[in-house]
Amino acid sequence: MTEKKKCIRCGSTQLASGWAQSTGKMYFRPDKVSFFALKTADLSVTGMMCLDCGTIELVGDIKKAQSLIKRSKVT
């Protein structure tokens, strides 16, 4: 049985998924990562908003972040 995701603040299971947005999608850029012509350092950010207390939990693209960090250590 899969346990429902809970709010990190109040423990509610009433969550709505989505993403943060400004004039376009919001991205996270790790510090000290080199710029690559074929791959940008922008990491997409998705999230969950608690419908009971309003807390928003953001999550970044971990696979791309790990790839960028590994590449920047090589150069």
Per-residue pLDDT of the chain (75 residues; tens, 9 = 90+): 667 899 999 999 999 999 777 777 677 777 776 655 456 777 778 899 999 999 999 998 899 888 888 766 654
Torsion from C-alpha of 24, 29, 19, 16, nearest 10 degrees: -170
Cβ–Cβ < 8 Å for 26, 20: yes
Cα–Cα distance between 36 and 24 in angstroms, integer? 21
How far the first Cα of the chain sits from its last, in Å, is 45
Q: What is the pTM of this model?
A: 0.65
